[in-house]
Amino acid sequence: MTKSQTMNTWTLWLPGGRLGVMYGVKSVVIFNRKDCWGWITVRQEKRALTLCEVEVYVQEQDSTPEPLINVAPAGRAYQTSTSLGGEASRAIDGLTFTHWKGDSCTLTQPGNKTQWRVDLEGWEVGVKYPVERVVMYNRADSKQERINNTAVWVGDFLCGTITYKEGENMYFVECGGRRGSTVSLTLDQGILSVCEVQVVMKSRNIPRIPTYTNVALGREASQGHNSAKNAGRAVDGNTSGKIRSNSCTWSETSNSGDGTWWRVKLDQGTVVRSVVIVNRMDAFSQRINGVQVWVGDVERSG
């Protein structure tokens, strides 16, 4: 069991409680100070709180709930923009500090269709996870209301939408075991800032993740209509979606109207399971529309 004490509030987390494990609590016994001049309260905002012991009793069959696991930390996180160093990965760093100075909360710039997303381990090869719920830790120091109307998705399934509640730092959104490779948060308009996102599933349902290799990494790459010769940036191992990372390619506009292309050379006979393209997320994201992906000996000029 873990416990924390903040301003006049004493909280006891039962095993797995932070992942949403529920216990059938039959009774709570509180031993007060015998020299007590304090007050016995679970939550007391204006007076001191002192407790000598708290015992929580459950029936035998309720004491061993099914183990749950948070699979988010093994994934990769993205967001539509970043402000003041609030990188997307902060929401899956395993740290649940809810104050900005803890360097563990994300922050986007204001905008429309703001999104934060985690791609779960193995998503590149189609691994899907049955997600029971998503647990979100909101900021507790400032601007807490920003979380209002945040939608929570597993793939393209909407688990639910957050309604901000004053004083509430944790939000549990049930997904009912819906299977998906990604979990995302979206806001139609505003700033997304969250300190931790936990993707919770039953331990016995953890999918098998096959061994796979990115065979494009560091291989010879080329593209048409390109004066900058930066085709290799798409196979440099850096998955940043920002052009300033110097890790995204671009080509000149085709004046002839016959389109353009990018290509990576693989060993002959390579069996390809899937192709993953990391798009720009800072601007011009719509350029990806209509892109065709080919595997095989498709000849292109240039």
Which part of the chain contacts Ca ion (CB under 5 A), choosing from 116-124, 196-204, 209-217, 293-301? 196-204
In the list 80, 93, 181, 249, the residue contacting Ca ion (rule: CB under 5 A) is 93
Site for Ca ion in 42-61 (CB under 5 A): none
Number of residues that bind Ca ion (CB under 5 A): 6
Name which position in 100, 191, 196, 241 contacts Ca ion (CB under 5 A): 196
Distance between CA atoms of 81 and 99, rounded to whole angstroms? Answer: 20
Region of 95-103, 211-219, 227-235, 277-285 interacting with Ca ion (CB under 5 A): 95-103
Q: Which is nearer to Ca ion, 16 or 73 (CB)?
A: 73
The residue type at 215: V
* Nearer to Ca ion (CB atom), residue 86 or residue 249: 86
98 binds Ca ion (CB under 5 A): no
- Give the C-alpha distances (Å, rounded to integers) separating 197 from 32, 134, 293, 299: 37, 7, 33, 45
Which DSSP category does 46 fall into? S
Tally of residues, the chain: 302
Stretch of residues binding Ca ion (CB under 5 A), selected from 74-82, 97-105, 122-130, 269-277: 97-105
Binding segment for Ca ion (CB under 5 A), chosen from 84-92, 124-132, 233-241, 276-284, is: 84-92
β-partners of residue 171 are: 136
Q: With respect to Ca ion, which residue has the nearer C-beta, 98 or 249?
A: 98
Mask of contacts with Ca ion, 104-123, x by CB under 5 A? x-------------------
Nearer CB in complex with Ca ion: 51/136: 136
Report which residue's Cβ sits closest to Ca ion: 104
Choose between 92 and 221: whose C-beta lies nearer to Ca ion. 92
- Nearest-angstrom CA–CA distance, 49 and 41: 7
278-297 residues near Ca ion, rule: CB under 5 A: none
Please select the residue that binds Ca ion; options are 14, 40, 49, 95, rule is CB under 5 A.
95
Q: Contact at 8 Å (CB) between 300 and 261?
A: yes
Contact assessment for residue 191 and residue 110, using Cβ atoms and an 8 Å cutoff: yes
The dihedral of CA 175, 176, 178, 182: what is its sign?
A: positive
User: If 0-12 CB within 10 Å is exposed, 13-18 middle and 19+ buried, where does residue 142 land?
Assistant: exposed
* Distance in Å, CB of 98 to Ca ion, minimum: 9
| Among the listed residues 137, 126, 144, 222, the one whose alpha carbon sits nearest the alpha carbon of residue 173 | 137
In the 8-state DSSP scheme, what is residue 92? G
Token digits of residue 249:
């390619």
Tokens standing for residue 158: 């909407």
**Shortest distance, CB of residue 150 to Ca ion, whole angstroms?**
16
Residue 133's identity, in one-letter code, is R
- Residue 11 and residue 54 in contact, taking contact as beta carbons nearer than 8 Å: no
70 vs 81, beta carbon nearer Ca ion: 70
Site residues (vs Ca ion, CB under 5 A): 90, 93, 95, 104, 195-196
